[in-house]
């Protein structure tokens, strides 16, 4: 998606996938903020799940002057691990600039990106 939208892709990895989420997410949150501060993008595309990444980015969007676009994967809606966070996920989706959805039947099909999304960065936790 980053390539199609002309965005730079950054995978914010805490260094070890074996860390549990309560340890991994704060590390990724600080690295995410550092990346956004360093790049100063107009648009930030963030994968969901985890909703935590988009929630964190939403908190700083207005003061730092960027827009958050959520790349919502099916797990955000139908994975039992994320079901208990559905209210927080809904908040994130409502407060983002827009939600990007894709389906496996559309893989390889190029379409016009949402207006105003080009020229940003894409972050993946």
82-110 pLDDT tens trace? 889 999 999 998 888 888 877 665 543 33
For residue 65, what are the domain limits? 2-124
Residue 34 has pLDDT above 90, yes or no: yes
Report the percentage of the chain scoring pLDDT > 70.
Answer: 78
Residue 14 has pLDDT above 80, yes or no: no
pLDDT at position 112 is: 40
Please give the model's pTM, rounded to 2 decimal places: 0.77
Least confident of 17-21, 29-33, 36-40, 70-74: 17-21
Are the C-beta atoms of residues 98 and 70 closer than 8 Å to each other? Answer: yes
Q: What pLDDT digit, counting tens, does each position of 62-81 carry?
A: 999 999 988 888 888 889 98
Residue 16 has pLDDT above 70, yes or no: no
Give CA–CA dist 49/67, Å, rounded. Answer: 18
Give CA–CA dist 107/15, Å, rounded. Answer: 30
CATH number, residue 102: 3.50.50
Count of domains forming the chain: 1
Q: If DSSP codes are grouped into helix, strand and coil, which group holds residue 16?
A: coil
Give CA–CA dist 79/59, Å, rounded. Answer: 25
48 forms bridges with which residues in the sheet? 72
């Amino acid at each position: 998606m980053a390539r199609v939208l002309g965005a730079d892709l950054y995978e914010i990895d805490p260094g070890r996938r074996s860390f549990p989420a309560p340890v991994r997410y704060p590390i990724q949150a600080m690295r995410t903020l550092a990346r956004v501060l360093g790049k100063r993008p107009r648009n930030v595309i963030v994968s969901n799940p985890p909703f935590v990444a988009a929630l964190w980015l939403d908190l700083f969007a207005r003061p730092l002057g960027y827009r958050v676009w959520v790349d919502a994967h099916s797990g955000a809606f139908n994975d039992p691990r994320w079901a208990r966070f559905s209210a927080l996920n809904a908040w994130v989706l409502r407060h983002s600039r827009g939600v990007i959805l894709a389906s496996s039947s559309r893989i390889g099909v190029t379409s016009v990106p949402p207006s105003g999304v080009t020229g940003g960065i894409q972050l993946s936790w």
